[in-house]
Amino acid sequence: MTAARTCRAVIGIGSNSIRMLVAEDTPEGVRSATRFREDVRPFAGLTPDGLSEDSIDRIVASVEKLLALAKSCGSISACLVATSAVRDAANADAFSFRILDRTGLRLRVLSGEEEARLSLKGCSSSDSDGVIDIGGGSTEIAVERGGETTAVSLQIGAVRLARKTNGLNKYEYISMRAAIERDIRNAAHKFTIDPPVRWVGVGGTCTTIARIDANGERAIEGRALERGAVERISDMLSNMNATERAQVPGLSAKRVDVIVPGAWIMVACMRALNIKRLIVTERGNLDGVLADPPPGLAPLRLG
């Protein structure tokens, strides 16, 4: 008799989107099955008082939709984590209660360092790898050596920076780009003494740049990006207006406004860390959560 499939789901509230990974438990370990995405952009709803009511409503509705999809995929449990946008929200506790009341899911807000460690865990099985995870609200860098992980989280993200670029002139653009490179370089010294053999790029910016490099091809898992190619793509996008960027093969219309600062971050990371080649993956912190759940995570039993 064939054993029944056992699937688990993890939902992640990011800054640019809400994602879900449904994966199957096998004797060999966790096997990724299906990925889902809701383009809600939680960071756009972040105000000095926290997440706006409209943003909370949209996030909760998306989580409810993904939870229903998890059940339809045969998941026996689901868990919920959040990163930069919720981490920054003044009303994160009230938001967590709203999610719990509507869905039954207990939200686990990841620290920046946890996010970095989980991204590394999710995309690498080797202690010779390092990871760069460029998100909407923050960028994480992590390297493992001898069972010990060095990780940093920077308040530099594609959506966060896109907010600041509106209305800037050419010289202000140059100044902001220089500031990004300076901040990343200041953090990079932790990783340059004993650099990893291979660097892996995680997040929507990295996968988008890979698809542009592949002239719109969707299958980019494991694609190698040379630093020169990333620099050329970054310069090309920076010199286009939004209408022109919308015509670039591989660039989703939903990323037209955030891809330029995202590309700046990617170039800055590669320069600061002396990365000549970056391997792109669609795996990330959700894979890490499934493989090695963080303390305090409380899955909800489904069915």
**Where do the domains of the chain lie?**
6-111+286-301, 113-284
Q: How would residue 29 be classed by pLDDT, with cut points 50, 70 and 90?
A: low
The pLDDT of 240-250, averaged and rounded, is 94
The least confident of 18-22, 122-126, 270-274, 288-292 is 122-126
Tens-place pLDDT, residues 49-85: 999 999 999 999 999 999 999 999 889 999 999 999 9
Structure tokens at 183: 């901040």
Same fold: 6-111+286-301 with 113-284: yes
Confidence at residue 90, expressed as pLDDT on a 0 to 100 scale: 97
Q: How would residue 140 be classed by pLDDT, with cut points 50, 70 and 90?
A: very high
Instruction: Check pLDDT > 80 for residue 26.
Output: no
Alpha-carbon gap, residue 78 to 88, rounded angstroms? 24
DSSP for 8-65, written as a single string: EEEEEE-SS-EEEEEEEEETTEEEEEEEEEE---GGGGEETTEE-HHHHHHHHHHHHH
Fold adopted by 113-284:
Nucleotidyltransferase; domain 5 (3.30.420)
Confidence at residue 191, expressed as pLDDT on a 0 to 100 scale: 85
Tens-place pLDDT, residues 86-138: 999 999 999 999 999 999 999 999 999 999 999 999 987 677 789 999 999 99
Tens-place pLDDT, residues 208-240: 999 999 999 988 999 999 999 999 999 999 999
Tracing tokens 């990871």 back to the chain, one arrives at: 131
Q: How would residue 4 be classed by pLDDT, with cut points 50, 70 and 90?
A: low
Q: How would residue 149 be classed by pLDDT, with cut points 50, 70 and 90?
A: confident
Structure tokens at 209: 């740049």
Confidence at residue 1, expressed as pLDDT on a 0 to 100 scale: 34
Tens-place pLDDT, residues 160-196: 998 887 766 777 778 888 888 999 999 888 887 788 8
Instruction: Check pLDDT > 90 for residue 197.
Output: no
Residue whose C-alpha is closest to residue 87's, from 42, 39, 55, 123: 42
- May I ask the CATH class of domain 6-111+286-301? alpha beta
